[in-house]
C-alpha cells in the first residue's frame, strides 16, 4: 500500500489540485522591423537627387541670353531654378525675371518667357546712362527748349542717350532748331548755337538834332542823330522834340539789312499837350475827333478853344476845355471814375449756373451790379445747350435778361443749316470733320521743326467761310481801313482780300459781325485787345489751326484714308498747274525775292477773292492770295494724339496758315507750313468761322 492510501482523508483533501479560470495575458512576441544601414540611406538619397536632376535636364530648355552690349556682369535669374553652363542657362518653360548690370549702363531688369522650344536665344538690351550736354549760346541769355520742354539752364544738362530736338530763341534773334545725338554713358558733350540777329540797323537824323527816337510808341533811349535797332517787320518810327510836332514814319525792317531814313525836318509846334489817365489806354478826342489812346502827346493850335475828352468803357467821360498860348507845353491827367449798372437775370429751367466774362458767378437767377462796359453773360445747365450774350450795363437803368435754355437736341435742330450768310455777305459752309494727320514727316523736303506730325481726332461740327474777308466787307466795320499797296501795285480794291490787319483787328471784326447777326460774341475785348474767349459761343471767330488744316488738306472719306492728306494745294508735286492759285509767279518776279520757276497766274500781287477754282469742299484761296490768321496761340506741338485741339491757353503770337502771293518756295507752299505773328502785314488776311453748336 502506498503512502497516499494510508493518509488521513482530510489530509488527502488538502492536497487535491483545483482548476480555476485565469485572465489571458498575451506574450510580448512582436517581430522586430529591420533597420537600414547608413550606406543604404545615402544610396537612396543620391538616387532621389539623380532622378530630380535627370528630370530637370530632360524637361529644361537651353536658353542663351545675349546682352547688348556683351559686357554684362552680375546676372541673376529669379522665378525658378536656373543652371548656367558656359553662358547658356538651363531653364524650365515659364516666366523669369532677369537682373543684370554693365558699366556705364542702367541696371537691367527684364521679364523673359521661356517657350517650349528646346534651344532658345533671347536678346536683352542695356540702356546707356544719360550723358551731359553743355550749350554755348550766342546771345548768352537765349531761352532753350529741349524736346518741347523748357530747359533748366544751359550748363551740364543731363540728357538720355539718343536724338534730342533743341530750339533756341530770343526776342531779338531768329529762332534756331538743331538736333543733337547724345552718346550717353556719362560722356560730356558740348554744342555751340549762334542765333542770327532779327533786326535792321536804322539810321535816323533830324533837324534840329537831339530829338528822342521811339519805335512803335516805345522810347529807344537814343537821340538824333543815331542808329537804332528795329526788329524785323513793319514798324513805326517817331521823332519827338519838345516844342516841335512829332514826326511819324512807317518802315519795313528786314533782318540784317540796314536802312537810312531821309533827314527829318521837325516843324515848330503851336502848343503841346500830354494826356495821361488812370487807368491807361483810354480814348482821347479833341473837338470830337479821335486822336489816340493815353498816354498821348498832342500838337494843338494856339489861340483857340479845344474841347478835350478822355473816354473809357465803364468809366465816366472826363472833359476839359483848353486854350493854349503859342509855345505852351501842358500836361492833362484824368482820374477816371468807374460807373455801374444793374442787370436782372432770369432763366429756365431752374438750377442753371451763371458765369460773367468766363468766371463763375453763382445761380443764374439774380440781380447783378456790374461796371458800365461790355460783359459776356453765360448761362449753363447739364443736358442743355449753353446761352451766352454780351450786355453793357447803363447807369441809372435796370436791364433784364430772360433766357430759356434749349435741350441739346432742340439746339442742334435749331442751329444747324448747311450754309449760312452773314450780314456782311459772307457765305459759310457746315463741315462734319473726321480724324486726320497734321504736320509733316521729318523726311519731307522743306519741313520746318514746328510742323510736328500728329494724329488729330475731330468731333465738333463747324462753319467756315468759303472766301477770305474782302476789303469791302472789312470796311463795313472800319470805314477808313486801307490795305495799302506793294511796289505801287494796289492791294486795296473792294473785291481783294483785306490785308494789313492785326490778329486783334480780325477778332474785333468777328465780334462786330456777331453783333450784326445777333450772335453771342466769341472774343472778350478790352481796350482793343482780346483778353479771353467764350469757347461755347456760336459767334464768329477765326478758325482753329486744326479746322483750317482739315478743310485745306483732307479729301472726303470716300476718296481717301484718314491719314492721306494733300501736301500742296494742287497735289503732292511741284510745280502747280498754271492758274491754279495766286502764288509768287513770273508776274511777281520783279517784286518778291523767290518765285515758282515757270509758273504764271497773271496776278502780280493780290487777286480778287474767288478768282481761282475752289478746292473739293468749295473753299477758295486756301493755298494762295493771302496767308490767313487762325485762332490758336503759337507753340511747337507735341506728337501726342489730340481731340479737337484749340492750341495753348496763352501765348504771345498766333498761328498763320497758308501761302500768299509773296510765297514761292517749297517750304511756304506746303499746307503743313506754319508761320506766326500778331501784327498785320501786306500779304496776310483772314476768313471767318464759327462753332456749329
Tell which CATH architecture fits domain 271-335. Sandwich (2.60)
pLDDT at 481: 96
* Nearest residue to 645 (alpha-carbon basis) of 577, 544, 574: 544
pLDDT confidence of 7, banded at 50, 70, 90? very low
DSSP per residue, 627-684: EEEEEEEP----SS-EES----S--S-EEEES--TT--SHHHHSTT-EEEESS--TTE
> Would you say residue 87 has pLDDT above 80?
no
Cα–chain-centroid distance for residue 261?
40
pLDDT at 441: 92
pLDDT confidence of 43, banded at 50, 70, 90? confident
Model confidence over 285-310: pLDDT tens digits?
A: 999 999 889 998 888 888 889 999 99
Percent of the chain past pLDDT 70, that is, above it, reads 92
Q: Is the peptide bond before 279 cis (omega within 30 degrees of 0)?
A: yes
Model confidence over 606-650: pLDDT tens digits?
A: 999 999 999 999 999 998 999 999 999 999 999 999 999 999 999
Class of the domain covering 416-693? alpha beta
pLDDT confidence of 13, banded at 50, 70, 90? very low
29 or 381, higher pLDDT: 381
Rounded mean pLDDT, 449-465? 94
Sign of CA dihedral 548, 549, 552, 554: negative
pLDDT at 209: 92
Cα gap 202→467, rounded to integer Å: 39
Class of the domain covering 199-265? mainly beta
> Would you say residue 551 has pLDDT above 70?
yes
pLDDT at 573: 87
Cross-strand pairs, 325: none
> Would you say residue 6 has pLDDT above 60?
no
Instruction: Please state which of the ranges 69-83, 94-108, 218-232 shows the lowest mean pLDDT.
Output: 69-83
Same fold across 340-408 and 416-693: no
Model confidence over 482-519: pLDDT tens digits?
A: 999 998 899 999 999 999 999 999 999 999 999 999 99
> Would you say residue 5 has pLDDT above 50?
no
Contact criterion met (CB below 8 Å) for 302 and 271 = yes
pLDDT at 8: 47
In this structure, what C-alpha cell is assigned to residue 658?
A: 497758308
In this structure, what C-alpha cell is assigned to residue 361?
A: 458767378
Beta carbons within 8 Å of 255's beta carbon, 6+ residues apart: 174, 196, 197, 198, 199, 200, 232
579 or 546, higher pLDDT: 546
Rounded mean pLDDT, 419-445? 94
> Would you say residue 662 has pLDDT above 90?
yes
pLDDT confidence of 34, banded at 50, 70, 90? low
pLDDT confidence of 537, banded at 50, 70, 90? very high
Cα gap 72→65, rounded to integer Å: 10
pLDDT at 406: 86
In this structure, what C-alpha cell is assigned to residue 470?
A: 474782302
Model confidence over 130-149: pLDDT tens digits?
A: 999 999 999 988 899 999 88
In this structure, what C-alpha cell is assigned to residue 542?
A: 477765326
Phi, psi of 511 (to 5 degrees): -65, -40
Rounded mean pLDDT, 551-556? 92
| Residue in this structure with the C-alpha cell 494789313, named with its chain if needed | 500
Rounded mean pLDDT, 234-252? 87
Contact criterion met (CB below 8 Å) for 263 and 203 = no
Cα gap 363→354, rounded to integer Å: 6
pLDDT confidence of 420, banded at 50, 70, 90? very high
Report whether CATH 3.40.50.150 matches the domain 340-408: no
Model confidence over 58-79: pLDDT tens digits?
A: 678 888 888 888 766 688 888 8
Rounded mean pLDDT, 370-395? 90
Model confidence over 121-131: pLDDT tens digits?
A: 888 888 899 99
Cα gap 529→510, rounded to integer Å: 13
Model confidence over 153-211: pLDDT tens digits?
A: 777 888 999 999 999 999 889 999 999 999 988 999 999 999 999 999 999 999 999 99
> Would you say residue 50 has pLDDT above 80?
no
0.85 exceeded by the pTM? no
Instruction: Please state which of the ranges 32-36, 376-380, 577-581 shows the lowest mean pLDDT.
Output: 32-36
- Integer angstrom CA distances of residue 233 from 367, 423, 486, 677, 681: 49, 34, 15, 10, 8
pLDDT at 306: 92
Listed by start position, the domains of the chain span 56-125, 131-194, 199-265, 271-335, 340-408, 416-693
Rounded mean pLDDT, 577-591? 86
> Would you say residue 561 has pLDDT above 60?
no
Rounded to the nearest integer, the mean pLDDT of the chain is: 88
**Strand duo 61-68 + 119-125: pairing:** parallel
pLDDT at 409: 59
In this structure, what C-alpha cell is assigned to residue 656?
A: 498763320
Percent of the chain past pLDDT 90, that is, above it, reads 56
3-state SS class at 408: helix
pLDDT confidence of 366, banded at 50, 70, 90? very high
Rounded mean pLDDT, 404-425? 81
Torsion angle of the four alpha carbons 449, 450, 451, 454, in this order, in degrees rounded to the nearest 10: 110
Amino acid at each position: 500500500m502506498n503512502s497516499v492510501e494510508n493518509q488521513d482523508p482530510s489530509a488527502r483533501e488538502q492536497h487535491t489540485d483545483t482548476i480555476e479560470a485565469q485572465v489571458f495575458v498575451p506574450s510580448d512576441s512582436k517581430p522586430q522591423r529591420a533597420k537600414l544601414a547608413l550606406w543604404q540611406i545615402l544610396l537612396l538619397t543620391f538616387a532621389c537627387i539623380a532622378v530630380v536632376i535627370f528630370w530637370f535636364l530632360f524637361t529644361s530648355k537651353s536658353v542663351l541670353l545675349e546682352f547688348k552690349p556683351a559686357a554684362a556682369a552680375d546676372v541673376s535669374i529669379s522665378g525658378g531654378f536656373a543652371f548656367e553652363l558656359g553662358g547658356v542657362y538651363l531653364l524650365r518653360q515659364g516666366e523669369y525675371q532677369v537682373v543684370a548690370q554693365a558699366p556705364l549702363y542702367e541696371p537691367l531688369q527684364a521679364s523673359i518667357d521661356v517657350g517650349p522650344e528646346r534651344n532658345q536665344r533671347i536678346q536683352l538690351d542695356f540702356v546707356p546712362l544719360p550723358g551731359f550736354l553743355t550749350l554755348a549760346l550766342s546771345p548768352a541769355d537765349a531761352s532753350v527748349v529741349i524736346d518741347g520742354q523748357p530747359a533748366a539752364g544751359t550748363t551740364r544738362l543731363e540728357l538720355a542717350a539718343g536724338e534730342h530736338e533743341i530750339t533756341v530763341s530770343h526776342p531779338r534773334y531768329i529762332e534756331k532748331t538743331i538736333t543733337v545725338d547724345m552718346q550717353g554713358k556719362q560722356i560730356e558733350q558740348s554744342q555751340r548755337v549762334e542765333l542770327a540777329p532779327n533786326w535792321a540797323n536804322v539810321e535816323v537824323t533830324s533837324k534840329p538834332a537831339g530829338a528822342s527816337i521811339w519805335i512803335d510808341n516805345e522810347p529807344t533811349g537814343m537821340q538824333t542823330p543815331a542808329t537804332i535797332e528795329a526788329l524785323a517787320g513793319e514798324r513805326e518810327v517817331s521823332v519827338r522834340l519838345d516844342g516841335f510836332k512829332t514826326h511819324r514814319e512807317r518802315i519795313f525792317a528786314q533782318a540784317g539789312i540796314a536802312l537810312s531814313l531821309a533827314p527829318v525836318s521837325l516843324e515848330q509846334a503851336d502848343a503841346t499837350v500830354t494826356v495821361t489817365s488812370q487807368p491807361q489806354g483810354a480814348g482821347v478826342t479833341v473837338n470830337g475827333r479821335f486822336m489816340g489812346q493815353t498816354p498821348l502827346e498832342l500838337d494843338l493850335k494856339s489861340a483857340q478853344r479845344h474841347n478835350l475828352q478822355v473816354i473809357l468803357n465803364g468809366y465816366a467821360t472826363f472833359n476839359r476845355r483848353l486854350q493854349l498860348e503859342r509855345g505852351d507845353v501842358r500836361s492833362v491827367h484824368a482820374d477816371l471814375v468807374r460807373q455801374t449798372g444793374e442787370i436782372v437775370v432770369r432763366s429756365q429751367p431752374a438750377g442753371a449756373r451763371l458765369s460773367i466774362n468766363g468766371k463763375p458767378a453763382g445761380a443764374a437767377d439774380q440781380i447783378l451790379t456790374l461796371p458800365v462796359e461790355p460783359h459776356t453773360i453765360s448761362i449753363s445747365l447739364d443736358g442743355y445747350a449753353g446761352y451766352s450774350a454780351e450786355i453793357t450795363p447803363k447807369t441809372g437803368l435796370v436791364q433784364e435778361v430772360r433766357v430759356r435754355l434749349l435741350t441739346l437736341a432742340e439746339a442742334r435742330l435749331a442751329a444747324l443749316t448747311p450754309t449760312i450768310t452773314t450780314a456782311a455777305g459772307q457765305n459759310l459752309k457746315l463741315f462734319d470733320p473726321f480724324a486726320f494727320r497734321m504736320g509733316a514727316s521729318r523726311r519731307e523736303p522743306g519741313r520746318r521743326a514746328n510742323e510736328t506730325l500728329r494724329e488729330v481726332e475731330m468731333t465738333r461740327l463747324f462753319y467756315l467761310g468759303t472766301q477770305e474777308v474782302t476789303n469791302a466787307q472789312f470796311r463795313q466795320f472800319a470805314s477808313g481801313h486801307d490795305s495799302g499797296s506793294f511796289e505801287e501795285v494796289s492791294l486795296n480794291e473792294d473785291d481783294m482780300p483785306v490785308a494789313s490787319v492785326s490778329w486783334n483787328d480780325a477778332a474785333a471784326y468777328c465780334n462786330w459781325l456777331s453783333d450784326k447777326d445777333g450772335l453771342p460774341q466769341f472774343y472778350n475785348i478790352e481796350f482793343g485787345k482780346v483778353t479771353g474767349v467764350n469757347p461755347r459761343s456760336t459767334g464768329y471767330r477765326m478758325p482753329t489751326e486744326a479746322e483750317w488744316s482739315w478743310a485745306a488738306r483732307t479729301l472726303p472719306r470716300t476718296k481717301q484714308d484718314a491719314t492721306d492728306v494733300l501736301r500742296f494745294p494742287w497735289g503732292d508735286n511741284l510745280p502747280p498747274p498754271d492758274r491754279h492759285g495766286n502764288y509768287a509767279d513770273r508776274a511777281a518776279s520783279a517784286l518778291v525775292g523767290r518765285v515758282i520757276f515757270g509758273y504764271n497766274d497773271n496776278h502780280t500781287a493780290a487777286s480778287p477773292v474767288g478768282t481761282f477754282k475752289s478746292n473739293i469742299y468749295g473753299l477758295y484761296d486756301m493755298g494762295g492770295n493771302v496767308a490767313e490768321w487762325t485762332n490758336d496761340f503759337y507753340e511747337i506741338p507735341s506728337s501726342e494724339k489730340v481731340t479737337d485741339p484749340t492750341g495753348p491757353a496763352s501765348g504771345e503770337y498766333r498761328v498763320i496758315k497758308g501761302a500768299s502771293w509773296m510765297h514761292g518756295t517749297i517750304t511756304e507752299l506746303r499746307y503743313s507750313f506754319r508761320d506766326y505773328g500778331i501784327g498785320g502785314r501786306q500779304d496776310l488776311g483772314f476768313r471767318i468761322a464759327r462753332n456749329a453748336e
